[in-house]
Structure 1
């Protein structure tokens, strides 16, 4: 794998009030499915320390092509259906190009 091909994604989702547990369970289900997808190097769920309704997925994909396949895959399609009506606003998606520096283990995901 060429480090230049790697894509990092930060997806932030805001659960509607009272829907936090449903959103968390849907995301956990997606995590287990996505881990088996080709090119998935990291797909890690987090909750914001300052807000119990805010969930953040940190993703690392071997390539833009792997991310595109993921975006059209069954796990994301199912997640979209499950989250329908459970979010306070649309998901915020940031697609990032890594700029590694310093220690290779510390300077990049």
Structure 2
């Protein structure tokens, strides 16, 4: 992509398996719009209005999102929050020894 930011929301469902993560929606939206290649992905948790702590938090992608990112953006960076600091890592560091398509 050429510096464009693609945003999405996490769609929570009562049955957890039906839930769709924001990363998956953002990737799908970008692909639908004809974009290829992703430089960096970050997921941010916005607190509910009734929560006392209203700080935004960077969250790590779940295992399924890691697989999806690895499939569609194998050279992508992912931002994480580790010990209160934002860290930039590669998707291959988060999902090492990825299977290969033959």
TM-score (normalised: structure 1): 0.24
Give the number of the structure whose residues are more often strand, by fraction.
1
Name the structure, 1 or 2, with higher relative contact order (CA <8 Å, separation 6+): 1
TM-score (normalised: structure 2): 0.25
Give the number of the structure whose residues are more often helix, by fraction.
1
